[in-house]
Amino acid sequence: MASKQFQNILHHITNLNYAQLKKLRHEVESNIATNQVGQAIADHEESISHCPHCDSHNLNRWGMTKQGIQRFKCKSCNKTFNALADSPLYRMKKAEKWIEYTKLMWEGVSLRKSAKALDITLRTSFRWRHMFIKAPASFNPSVLTGVIEADETSLPESFKGKRAINRKSRKRGGGKIEKVPIFIALDRSGAISHKVLERNTKENIQAQLKPLLSSGSVLCTDGNLSYKGIAKELDIDHKRLIGLDNQRVVEGIYHIQTLNNYMMRWKAWLRRFNGIGTDYIENYLSWFRFMEDNTEYSDQTWIKEAL
């Protein structure tokens, strides 16, 4: 568009009423979102190097989809696929609303309010949330190094979102509420590993922690004896912070306060959701970890992560 035409549009904006301005803003935001999503996908297309069906690197470009997404054909298995085939965004529609939806996710807006704001169904809102969380949830560090802090926390068991409950119903405020144990470990470089445990047992804790420990690292825990055997078996220095002894820091640097603060921030962030289903705890752990790693929102942050 010529500069003169653009200036003419700007000149007439002052003549628009509120409803027209609102519609104009929607169209502008929609076009900006579509362009940014398109740019992120275009960048991703250049990185496609293997077939998602057979892992072959012998590929040909094979036209475009109706949405303008690059298609490929594998010379080894003769199957075709597009640039989104191996990502959570595959077959997701309404790309013009993705960026606005991730903004609402960043702000912690509820599923219902997000659905209403973007004129999508509640089911679509739920599916999009967990599609965008899928990529961060797939990452869990295989090893931690240096000073490692480990501890457990818990959340009340919840069947939120379930059509059926696998237990007898109870009256509000009555009966024992089961707790879901969660294991979390981190090192001072910022790497964080977490896992929802079936039961808070020595065997389950050790199964999650043992693969994370590396030679020369120092393990910091509370007084839970479950950690003692692992440190001894792997010959790793173990600092136990025992509450009864009023020990919070050992030798000036060894503590579990970094982890405890992380848990407190996560639980404070969770309050906005008014409870989460037990089946989705891992996703919300990953969501929060991703936001902690990306302290400032960018329109393409979630899109690029999903790709």
Q: Return d(Cα 252, Cα 259) in angstroms, integer.
A: 16
What average pLDDT score do residues 189-216 get?
A: 91
Q: Band of the pLDDT at 169, cuts 50, 70, 90?
A: low
Q: Return d(Cα 41, Cα 61) in angstroms, integer.
A: 15
Q: What is the CATH number of the domain that holds 217?
A: 3.30.420.10
CB 133 within 8 A of CB 102: no
What average pLDDT score do residues 170-193 get?
A: 84
Let me know if residue 44 belongs to a domain: no
Let me know if residue 233 belongs to a domain: yes
3-state helix, strand, coil in the chain (%, to 5): 45, 15, 40
Q: Return d(Cα 32, Cα 45) in angstroms, integer.
A: 20
Let me know if residue 291 belongs to a domain: no
Let me know if residue 159 belongs to a domain: yes
Number of domains in the chain: 1
Q: Going by C-beta distance under 8 Å and a sequence separation of 6 or more, which residues neighbour residue 48?
A: 59, 70, 72, 83
**Residue 149 confidence (pLDDT):** 94
Q: Band of the pLDDT at 223, cuts 50, 70, 90?
A: confident
Let me know if residue 69 belongs to a domain: no
**Residue 68 confidence (pLDDT):** 80
* pLDDT > 70? residue 174: no
Let me know if residue 225 belongs to a domain: yes
**Closest to 128 measured CA to CA, from 104, 155, 163:** 104
Query: Which pLDDT tens digit goes with each residue over 245-266?
Result: 666 787 888 999 999 999 999 9
Per-residue 3-state assignment (H helix, E strand, C coil) for 253-273 = CECCHHHHHHHHHHHHHHHHH
Q: Band of the pLDDT at 170, cuts 50, 70, 90?
A: low
Let me know if residue 259 belongs to a domain: yes
Q: Band of the pLDDT at 175, cuts 50, 70, 90?
A: low
Let me know if residue 10 belongs to a domain: no
Domain of residue 201, residue span: 147-163+174-276
Query: Which pLDDT tens digit goes with each residue over 56-73?
Result: 999 999 988 887 889 999
Identify the burial level of 49 via C-beta atoms within 10 angstroms of its C-beta, where 0-12 means exposed, 13-18 middle and 19 or more buried.
exposed
Query: Which pLDDT tens digit goes with each residue over 62-106?
Result: 988 887 889 999 999 999 999 888 888 888 888 889 989 999 999
What average pLDDT score do residues 287-296 get?
A: 87
Q: Going by C-beta distance under 8 Å and a sequence separation of 6 or more, which residues neighbour residue 110?
A: 272, 273
**Residue 263 confidence (pLDDT):** 95
